[in-house]
Amino acid sequence: MTGPRLLRLYAAGRRVPLALLSTAVCATGLRIALLRHWDAYGALQLPLIFEAAAAVSVTATAASPFGEPERVAGRLLPYLRAAVTVALTAAAVGLLTAAGTGGHLSGGTLDVLRNVAGITGIGLLCAAVLGGGLSWTGPTGYLVAAVYALYTQWHPPVLATPWLWPARPPHDLGGALCAGLLFGCGLAAVTVRGARDRIGDPAAA
Amino acid sequence: MNIEIDGLTRCFGSVEAVAGVDLKAGPGVFGLLGPNGAGKTSLLRMMATAVPPSSGRLRLLGRDPGGYGPRREIRRRLGYLPQNPGHYPGFTVAEYVEYVALLKEVPPARIRAAVATAIERVELGDRRKSRMRTLSGGMLRRAGIAQAIVNEPELLLLDEPTAGLDPEQRVAFRTLLRDLGQRATVVVSTHLVEDVAAACAQVALMDRGRIVFHGTPDGLAARGAGQHAGDTPIERGYSAVLAQARS
């Protein structure tokens, strides 16, 4: 029973229940928002805001309160980091998709999956480089850029780079690859190194 | 020898925090003294495998921590208390220590007893179910020591372990150190020379990234003959060696 016990303590220390709760709040917010009728802007931009917020909730769990004693405690930590991050990302996608079921969720499940995974990847990279406390900065900046990219759909010149995937159709391969690449890089960085403890702290082993 | 260090350096940008240290230590309590910025913490962090050296040779418990496999094995047998250990405020003391025991892969059948023993040894038995957020600074320090010793480490690295402890706790801690030093190599980095005099068999004094004295506490005290800076012989020796190194 040591495996589940370790997982439970790890999850508690990383405030995973709080992350799940805030993701559920995001899903509820999305559901309530979808009850209204939105113009084309709102229909595209509102889900993206809730998706980014859910992604921030996931990336916040990368921060460790334990510091170096945990980092040098053994070989199990990377597995815990990867498992919890993937599980939380899947939960966020599932909750947001469920919230959109039966509503007018622009882009559908594919859009949610791509947006949440990609923005989570950005947040994880920020956690690895800047620290867990600043993991929200990347997703927030990306959200601003993505909302602008959506705006240019009606006000050319259109921003059409696949790196701004929320402005691309849900089945667009380039956008999916970019989002997947960022998620993979962010997950790898946080799995191997963990979130940086604080600015100025040398890289973890 | 549990610690073998040859020409070890560590640079942070243009700052050379550890500038060519040679050191060997077997079982026993080893004191690491020095003023602020001497490089004690950087040296300890390298020994804890928390940061890699910039250059030089480091062997811990007969293994090279540069390789993944040996580093993993060293970490399993290592105990480490940094200057500012973090904690999750919602954990109880027992959960905090158990979490580290699980990470260090203490055998499942031994975990409960290992956690209880570690907590008892730092005299927190009556607070084992208290939340970390309710503990005083000294109690948090003792909880940090408990997590460092829960796996009965062969190499124990303690950075300023007595900071925040009251005199009674410090005396108890020195007794614990001497006990741990019977089986393991215990490296204690501290500003408090009286802790070194009371508990350490060997001492190294660092200044500006280098070891400027290596010997016994009595040997360090003897270097202070005729000096007036300091209240105790070892403090006078500490001041004399530093003054000589800087002249």
Q: Are B195 and B207 in contact (CB under 8 A)?
A: no
Query: What digits encode the pLDDT tens for the residues B78-137?
Result: 999 998 888 999 999 999 999 999 999 999 999 999 999 999 999 999 999 999 999 998
- Give the list of residues 6+ apart from residue B52 with CB closer than 8 angstroms, or none: A205, B46, B65, B66
Q: CA A165, A143, A190: angle at the middle one, nearest 5?
A: 85
Task: Select the more confidently predicted residue: B229 or A188.
Answer: A188
Distance of residue B199 Cα from the nearest chain A Cα, in angstroms: 24
pLDDT at residue A204 tops 60: no
* CA distances, A152 to each of A68, A136, A200 (Å): 46, 25, 38
Residues of B whose CB is below 8 A from A81: none
Claim to verify: residue B60 and residue B161 sit in the same structural domain: yes
Choosing from B107, B132, B152, the residue where a domain stops is B152
Average pLDDT, chain A: 91
Residues of B whose CB is below 8 A from A202: 12, 51
Residue B130 belongs to a domain? yes
pLDDT at A103: 80
Distance of residue B54 Cα from the nearest chain A Cα, in angstroms: 12
Please give the structure tokens belonging to residue A104. 């007018």
Q: Are B118 and B151 in contact (CB under 8 A)?
A: no
Please give the structure tokens belonging to residue A144. 């601003």
CA distance B172 to A2: 32
Claim to verify: residue B146 and residue B171 sit in the same structural domain: no
pLDDT at B246: 86
Amino acid at A51: E
SS (H, E, C) chain A: CHHHHHHHHHHHHCCHHHHHHHHHHHHHHHHHHHCCCCCHHHHHHHHHHHHHHHHHHHHHCCCCCCCHHHHCCCCCHHHHHHHHHHHHHHHHHHHHHHHHCCCCCCCHHHHHHHHHHHHHHHHHHHHHHHCHHHCCHHHHHHHHHHHHHHHCCCCCCCCCCCCCHHHCCCCCHHHHHHHHHHHHHHHHHHHHCCCCCCCCCCCCC
Domain count, chain B: 2
Please give the structure tokens belonging to residue B211. 């070891």
- In 3D space, the residue among A62, A63, A64, A68 whose CA is nearest the CA of residue A83 turns out to be A62
Amino acid at B189: S
Residue B6 belongs to a domain? no
B interface test, pick of A1, A7, A72 with most B CB neighbours within 10 Å: A72
> B178: which DSSP letter?
H
What pTM, to 2 d.p., does this model score?
A: 0.90
Query: What digits encode the pLDDT tens for the residues A108-128?
Result: 889 999 999 999 999 999 999
Q: Are A19 and A57 in contact (CB under 8 A)?
A: yes
- Give the list of residues 6+ apart from residue B131 with CB closer than 8 angstroms, or none: B89, B90, B91, B92
Phi and psi (nearest 5°) for B165? -85, 145
Residue B9 belongs to a domain? no
Of B48, B81, B88, the CB nearest to A13: B88
Of B50, B98, B144, the CB nearest to A72: B50
Chain A, chain B: beta-carbon pairs less than 8 Å apart: 89
Claim to verify: residue B237 and residue B176 sit in the same structural domain: yes
pLDDT at A198: 60
CA distance B175 to B141: 16
Query: What digits encode the pLDDT tens for the residues A12-52?
Result: 999 999 999 999 999 999 999 988 887 777 778 889 999 99
* CA distances, B31 to each of A48, A77, B37, B75 (Å): 56, 31, 16, 21
Residues of A whose CB is below 8 A from B76: 74-75
Claim to verify: residue B178 and residue B223 sit in the same structural domain: yes
Claim to verify: residue B121 and residue B180 sit in the same structural domain: no
pLDDT at B126: 95
A70 has a chain B CB within 8 A of its CB: yes
pLDDT at A82: 97
> A65: which DSSP letter?
S
Rounded to a whole number of angstroms, the distance between the first and last alpha carbons of chain A is 29
pLDDT at A137: 96
Distance of residue B101 Cα from the nearest chain A Cα, in angstroms: 9
pLDDT at A192: 93
**Which residue range is the domain that position B138 belongs to?**
86-152
Claim to verify: residue B97 and residue B203 sit in the same structural domain: no
Average pLDDT, chain B: 92
Beta strands in chain A (DSSP E): none
pLDDT at A200: 43
Residues of A whose CB is below 8 A from B100: 69-70, 73
Domain of B56, CATH number, reads 3.40.50.300
Choosing from B133, B152, B171, the residue where a domain stops is B152
Claim to verify: residue B96 and residue B218 sit in the same structural domain: no
Amino acid at A34: L
B interface test, pick of A8, A16, A75 with most B CB neighbours within 10 Å: A75
- In 3D space, the residue among B207, B200, B160, B142 whose CA is nearest the CA of residue B44 turns out to be B160
CA distance B234 to B216: 10
Residue B14 belongs to a domain? no
Q: Are B146 and B135 in contact (CB under 8 A)?
A: no
Claim to verify: residue B48 and residue B134 sit in the same structural domain: no
User: ipTM of the predicted structure?
Assistant: 0.88
Residues of B whose CB is below 8 A from A76: 102-103, 105
Please give the structure tokens belonging to residue B190. 């501290």
Claim to verify: residue B96 and residue B129 sit in the same structural domain: yes
Query: What digits encode the pLDDT tens for the residues B206-223?
Result: 999 999 999 999 999 998
Name the β-bridge partners of B18.
B10
pLDDT at A102: 82
Claim to verify: residue B125 and residue B161 sit in the same structural domain: no
pLDDT at residue B165 tops 60: yes
Residue B7 belongs to a domain? no
A12 has a chain B CB within 8 A of its CB: yes
Choosing from B126, B152, B178, the residue where a domain stops is B152
Query: What digits encode the pLDDT tens for the residues A51-70?
Result: 999 999 999 999 999 989 99
* Confidence grade of residue A199 (pLDDT, cut at 50, 70, 90): very low
Claim to verify: residue B148 and residue B163 sit in the same structural domain: no
Instruction: Tell me the domain boundaries of chain A.
Output: 2-192
Q: For residue B57, what is the enclosing H or E element?
A: strand B55-60
pLDDT at A79: 95
Of B71, B88, B111, the CB nearest to A65: B88
Claim to verify: residue B147 and residue B163 sit in the same structural domain: no
Task: Indicate the range of B4-13, B55-64, B169-178 predicted with least confidence.
Answer: B169-178
